[in-house]
């Protein structure tokens, strides 16, 4: 695929930012972007018809991600945030090469924080099977700090539990204990929540890991890096959007009602609607 360069002519300050995930997890990143850069317009896409991505092949996740980028680009967006670790792990390089708008993912920012905060050099990463098997966190963390050991643990049941809204539930508790026991036994001091769905069960994870383990949610650092990048490119929106301008818009590939209900529990903004689209058309 041909390497593309940014088309500065097309990038406008008042254009929206496109954010996507396989489902509701990316809302944890969007929430942080809304907090750190509150004047920006955001178009969120959740691929609710095809979630989960975590057990799928690189080819499939890349094809899905490319379709979503084509959809988001119909809004003349000024940047894209891949608010999904699995898509960041499998498709970010390919998307970046083909894109004329800047794109950032969530893995590099999360890796950076973990490399900085670990004291004993033992870092755990919990994520989807795809993200763990890609080895991407290990690669990025060791680029920054070679004196660390990274222990990856795939937690495939977390995404369906979150998508079903079982955020504080004995079932989630039991499954989390089974997944996390081996990380407790090897004495990690830092745990990366390497899937954007996982911050939604943060209290369960924190309770099990105990207070000596720092939980790293890459969302904060991703929003910070996004702000920095927009500032550097002179694309940061300083003025609040005009009233009634539909600052935040939500699109999904499956039923909108369930998404709206869930989104309202994550983002306290009063999300009134989401539109369902056929992503296979893009
Ligand atoms: N939330 C996504 C991630 O960060 C994807 C989860 C999934 O669809 O399996 O990896």
Here the tokens at position 268 are 């306290």
Give the pLDDT band (50/70/90) at residue 77.
very high
Domain boundaries, the chain: 17-105+221-281, 108-218
For residue 89, the ligand 1 atom closest to its alpha carbon is: 10
Is the CB of residue 21 below 6 angstroms from any atom belonging to ligand 1? yes
Whole-number Å distance between alpha carbons of 33 and 204: 24
What is the arithmetic mean of pLDDT over 260-282?
A: 89
Whole-number Å distance between alpha carbons of 141 and 276: 38
Cα 196 to ligand 1 centre (Å): 6
Give the pLDDT band (50/70/90) at residue 3.
low
What is the arithmetic mean of pLDDT over 231-258?
A: 91
What is the arithmetic mean of pLDDT over 83-103?
A: 96
pLDDT over 50 at 1, yes or no: no
Is the CB of residue 197 below 6 angstroms from any atom belonging to ligand 1? yes
Better-predicted residue by pLDDT, 13 or 2: 13
CATH topology of domain 17-105+221-281: Rossmann fold (3.40.50)
Our answer to whether residue 155 is catalytic in this structure is no
Mutate to test the pocket of ligand 1, among 20, 25, 198, 199 (most ligand atoms within 8 A of CB): 25
Whole-number Å distance between alpha carbons of 134 and 130: 6
Cα 259 to ligand 1 centre (Å): 16
What digits encode the pLDDT tens for the residues 165-214? 999 999 999 999 999 999 999 999 999 999 999 999 999 999 999 999 99
pLDDT over 70 at 4, yes or no: no
Here the tokens at position 109 are 């920012």
Mutate to test the pocket of ligand 1, among 130, 195, 262, 266 (most ligand atoms within 8 A of CB): 195
What digits encode the pLDDT tens for the residues 102-141? 999 999 999 999 999 999 999 999 999 999 999 999 999 9
Q: What is the pLDDT of residue 169?
A: 95
Spatial CA neighbour of 247 closest among 33, 11, 7, 20: 33
Candidate list 84, 125, 132, 191, residue with the active-site label: 84
Identify the helix (H) or strand (E) that includes residue 156: none
* Domain 108-218: which CATH number of 3.40.718.10, 2.60.40.180, 3.40.570.10, 3.40.50.1860: 3.40.50.1860
Is the CB of residue 24 below 6 angstroms from any atom belonging to ligand 1? no
What digits encode the pLDDT tens for the residues 24-75? 999 999 999 999 999 999 999 999 999 999 999 999 999 999 999 999 999 9
**Length reported for the chain:** 282
For 16, 79, 135, 258, the CA distances from 76, given in Å and listed in that order, are: 7, 9, 33, 28
Give the pLDDT band (50/70/90) at residue 2.
very low
**Topology agreement, domain 17-105+221-281 and domain 108-218:** yes
């Amino acid at each position: 695929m041909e390497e593309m360069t940014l088309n500065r002519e097309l990038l406008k300050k008042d254009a929206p930012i496109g954010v996507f995930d396989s489902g509701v997890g990316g809302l944890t990143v969007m929430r942080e972007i809304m907090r750190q850069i509150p004047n920006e317009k955001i178009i969120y896409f959740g691929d609710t018809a095809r979630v989960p991505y975590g057990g799928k092949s690189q080819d499939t996740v890349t094809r899905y991600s490319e379709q979503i980028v084509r959809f988001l680009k119909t809004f003349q967006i000024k940047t894209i945030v891949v608010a999904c670790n699995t898509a960041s792990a499998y498709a970010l390089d390919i998307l970046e090469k083909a894109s004329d708008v800047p794109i950032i993912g969530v893995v590099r920012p999360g890796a950076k924080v973990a490399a900085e905060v670990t004291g004993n050099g033992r870092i755990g990463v919990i994520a989807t099977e795809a993200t763990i098997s890609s080895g991407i966190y290990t690669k990025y963390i060791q680029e920054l700090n070679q004196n660390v050991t990274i222990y990856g643990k795939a937690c495939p049941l977390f995404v369906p539990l979150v998508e079903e809204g079982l955020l504080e539930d004995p079932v989630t508790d039991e499954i989390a204990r089974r997944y996390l026991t081996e990380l407790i036994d090897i004495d990690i001091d830092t745990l990366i929540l390497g899937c954007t769905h996982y911050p939604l069960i943060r209290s369960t994870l924190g309770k099990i890991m105990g207070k000596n383990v720092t939980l790293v949610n890459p969302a904060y650092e991703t929003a910070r890096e996004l702000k920095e990048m927009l500032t550097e490119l002179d694309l940061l929106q300083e003025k609040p959007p005009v009233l009634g301008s539909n600052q935040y818009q939500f699109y999904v590939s499956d039923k909108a009602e369930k998404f709206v209900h869930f989104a309202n529990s994550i983002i306290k903004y009063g999300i009134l609607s989401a539109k369902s689209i056929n992503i296979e058309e893009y």
